[in-house]
A and B are shown apart, each in its own frame.
Chain A
C-alpha cells in the first residue's frame, strides 16, 4: 500500500454537461416524500422514481446497449451517482441491482442470464438483493452454510439468509451458497441467481430500530432453481463475491448519504455564521472534499481494471466516521428539540438513529480495518 497516488479521474465526454442535464432532469422530476427521505437516500424505495430514472438512461449506464444499457464509461456513471446522492434522490429500489448485481451478471453471467435480467435492471424495473449474511455467518462470511445440491432437475437449495436488504421488494437474489458437499470455509462456494417467486422461499421482515423495514430473513425450504441459475464458475463464489464487495464499498454513498444534513445545516447557519458554527461547517466541508478525492481516485482505479480493495476500505472507513460524526457534532452545537418540526431537526433525529448501521452494513468497521491492515502487510 506504500506510495499511494491519486488515480486521475478522467471520464470521457463533457462532464459538466452531463451534470447539468441530470440536474435539470431532477428539477423536473422532484421525488415525492419529505426531507427525511433525502437522508440515507440509497435506502429510500420509490419504484416510480426508479422507472423514470431508468427511462431517462441513468440506470445501467455502463451495460452494453444490446442489454438495454447506456454503453457509458464507469466514471460517467460515477458522476451521475454522486449527483443523485447529493440531491437526496430516492434511489433505493434499484440501487443494489444497478451498483453490483448488473455489473456482476455482465462479468460472470451466462448469455441467457444477461438477456433475461439486464434489460429490466437498466429500465429501473428489476430489483435485486444480495444473499450473503446468515445467522452463523456475519463478519465471518466464509462460515456460510446454506447448501445447493446439483440434481438432474436443477439446484436444490436449503438454508437461511439474514439481514437481506430489500428482499421484500426484490425480484432476484444473488446468493452465496455452499455447492460442494463437505467443503470448508471459502472453498466450495458458488453464486446462484434466484428468482424470489420460486416456491419454497419465505421472506420475513426484520424491523430496524428506526421503525423501518429494510432488511429481512429469507428461508429456503427445498427450493428448486434451474441449472442455469449458476453465475460464473462453480466453486469460485468466494472470488466473485470479493470482487463484488469492491464495487459495494468504494462508491460515493459512503460519504454522501447524509449530505442532506450538511445542506440543512449550512442553510440554517445563514451566510454569516458565528465562529463555532463556521468551524464546524469548515471541518465538515474539508472532510467531504477530501473524501470526494479519495472516492474519485478509487473509482478511477476500479475503472482502470485494477483492484481497489484497500482503497475502497479506506473510503468506507473514513466515510463512515464522517457520517457518524456529523449528526453528533451538529447536535452538540445546534439547539433543537428532538421532536421539532423543522428540516434540520428532522434530519438530525433520523441520522442520529440511522448512523449506528453505517459502520455495520457492507462490512463492519473492524473487518474493514483488518483489510486495511492486511494491505499494510501486517497479517
Chain B
C-alpha cells in the first residue's frame, strides 16, 4: 500500500473512532466527502483503491453510518457495499481467532480443537475471497475511471460473491464464539448484523446472479472466458 493510502487509513481510523459516538459530523468535517473529488477541484483526488481501503475500515468501526453514501454516488453503492462487507468480515474473523485462542474448555484453548480449526479455515477462505473480489473490483473501477457501466460484470460478480459469503461467515463466527457472541455487550454483533443487512441491500443474491447469468449467457460458452481475460488484460495495460 502506498504511503499516501497508509496515511489516509490512519486518518480514517482516528476520525471514525470519534464518529462512533458523535455521528457523521467528524467524518464530514474531515473532508471524506471529497475523497473522490479531483485535486484541481479542491478534493483529495483519491481512487477506488482508496475508497476500498477507507470503507473496509468504516465497515468495522462505523457500519451504521452513511460513509459510503457520503463518498460515492448511487450507481457505485453496490461496489461500496462490497468494501464495507470485506472489512466487516475481516473483523468477524479477527474476533473469532482472538476468542478461540483465549477461551479454554476441556483444559485447552478452543483453537486447539480440530473441529474448530476446520470451521475457521472455511470462514477464512470466504473472507479472503471477498477481500480479493473487493480489490479486483477496485482495480477495474480505477481502470475505467469509475464508470459503473464499464465495470458492470465486476460489480455484479463481487457483490454476489460477498452476499454469498455472509451466511457462512456470520454463522461460523457466532458458532465458535458460543453464548458470549450473542450478547449485546460483546462486539461481534456490531459487524454480523450489518453483514446480514448488507446482503439484502443494493441487490440480493438472486438480483445479481440473474443479471450476471444473463450477461454471461450473452457471451456464449467460449465467449465468457474471452471476455473475462480481455477485461483484466485491459486494466493491466491501464495501470
A: residues with CB less than 8 A from B are 1-2, 4-6, 8-11, 15-16, 19, 82-83, 86, 259, 262-267, 269-273, 275, 277-283, 285-294, 296-297, 311, 314, 317-318, 366, 368-370, 372-373, 375-379
Asked if B128 is at the interface of the complex by the 8 Å CB criterion, the answer is: yes
Q: A280-B213, A282-B209 are in contact. Are A264 and B221 (CB under 8 A)?
A: yes
How far, in whole Å, are A11 and B124 apart by their CA atoms in the complex? 28
Which of B68-76, B129-137, B143-151 lines the interface with chain A? B129-137
Contact B212 A376 (CB under 8 A): no
B101 lies within 8 A of chain A by Cβ: yes
> Is B10's CB within 8 Å of the partner chain A?
no
Separation in Å of the A234 CB from the closest CB of chain B? 34
Least CB distance from A284 to B in Å reads 8
Cβ of B228 within 8 Å of any chain A Cβ, yes or no, is yes
The number of chain B residues touching the other chain, given as a range, is 35 or more
Query: What B residues does A266 contact at CB under 8 A?
Result: 216-217, 219-221, 224
- Assuming A266-B221, A376-B124, what are 17 further A-B pairs, CB within 8 angstroms? A5-B1, A19-B229, A259-B225, A269-B217, A278-B214, A279-B206, A282-B208, A285-B212, A286-B208, A286-B212, A288-B228, A293-B132, A318-B129, A372-B125, A376-B121, A377-B97, A378-B97
Measured between beta carbons, the chain A residues less than 8 angstroms from B107 are none
Asked whether, in the complex, the Cβ of B157 is within 8 Å of the Cβ of A290, the reply is yes
Does B118 have its Cβ within 8 Å of any Cβ on chain A? yes
A289 touches B228 (CB 8 A): yes
- CB contact under 8 A between A273 and B214, given known A264-B221, A286-B156: yes
B152, chain A: closest CB distance, angstroms: 12
List residues of chain B with CB within 8 A of the CB of A318: 125, 129
Report chain A residues within 8 Å CB of B124: 1, 314, 372, 375-376
A-B contact pairs, 10 of them (CB 8 A): A263-B221, A271-B217, A275-B210, A283-B213, A286-B158, A293-B136, A294-B128, A372-B124, A378-B120, A379-B117
Q: Which residue of B lies closest to A297 (CB)?
A: B132
B239 contacts A by Cβ under 8 Å: yes
Contact: B221 with A283, CB < 8 Å? no
List residues of B (149-165) whose CB comes within 8 Å of A's CBs: 153-154, 156-158, 160-161, 164
> In the complex, which of the residues A262, A275, A290 contacts B133, with contact meaning CB atoms closer than 8 Å?
A290
Q: Is B193 an interface residue (CB 8 A)?
A: no
Instruction: Find chain A residues with CB under 8 A from B224 CB.
Output: 262-263, 266, 285
B: residues with CB less than 8 A from A are: 1, 90, 93-94, 97, 100-101, 111-112, 114, 116-118, 120-122, 124-125, 128-129, 131-133, 135-136, 139, 153-154, 156-158, 160-161, 164, 205-206, 208-222, 224-225, 228-230, 232-233, 236-237, 239
Q: How far is the CA of A283 from the CA of B211 in the complex (A)?
A: 10
Given contacts A266-B221, A282-B208, A376-B97, contact A293 B135 (CB under 8 A): yes
Residue in B closest to A9 when the chains form the complex, CB atoms: B236
Q: A286-B157, A317-B121 are in contact. Are A15 and B217 (CB under 8 A)?
A: no
Q: How far is B218's CA from A291's CA once the two chains are assembled, in angstroms? A: 22
The 6 nearest A-B residue pairs measured at CB? A282-B213, A278-B213, A263-B221, A282-B209, A282-B212, A373-B117
Classify the secondary structure of B's interface with A: helix
Query: Which A residues touch B136, using CB under 8 A?
Result: 6, 289-290, 293
A318 to B123, CA, bound (A): 11
The residue from B122, B133, B211 contacting A282, defined by CB atoms under 8 A apart: B211
Cα separation A86 to B222 with both chains bound (whole Å) = 9
CA of A326 to CA of B221, assembled, Å: 15
Task: Return chain A residues, CB-CB under 8 Å to B214.
Answer: 272-273, 278, 282
CA distance A232 to B117 in the complex (A): 34
Q: Give complex CA distance A159, B168 in Å.
A: 45
Centre residue among B97, B136, B164, B232 by max chain A CB count within 10 A = B136
- In the bound assembly, the distance between CA atoms of A215 and B78 in angstroms comes to 47
Report whether A272 and B217 are in contact in the complex, using a CB–CB cutoff of 8 Å: yes
List of A residues within 8 angstroms of B114 by Cβ: 370
Query: In the bound complex, what is the Cα–Cα distance between A338 and B62 (angstroms)?
Result: 53
Nearest CB of chain B from residue A322's CB, rounded to whole Å: 10
The reply to whether A378 and B100 form a contact with Cβ atoms under 8 Å apart is yes
Q: Are B217 and A378 in contact (CB under 8 A)?
A: no
Contacts of B97 in A (CB 8 A): 376-378
Contacts of A281 in B (CB 8 A): 212-213, 216-217
Task: Given A15-B233, A290-B132, answer yes or no on A278-B157 (Cβ-Cβ < 8 Å).
Answer: no
Q: How far apart are B21's CB and chain A's nearest CB, in angstroms?
A: 26
**In angstroms, how far is the closest chain B Cβ from the Cβ of A202?**
38
Interchain CA distance A275-B207 in the complex, whole Å:
10
Cα of A159 to Cα of B194 in the assembled complex, Å: 58
Whether A292 contacts B217 by the Cβ 8 Å rule is: no
Q: In the complex, what residues of B have CB within 8 A of residue A9's CB?
A: 232, 236
* Residue of B97, B220, B225, B232 most packed against chain A (CB within 10 A): B225
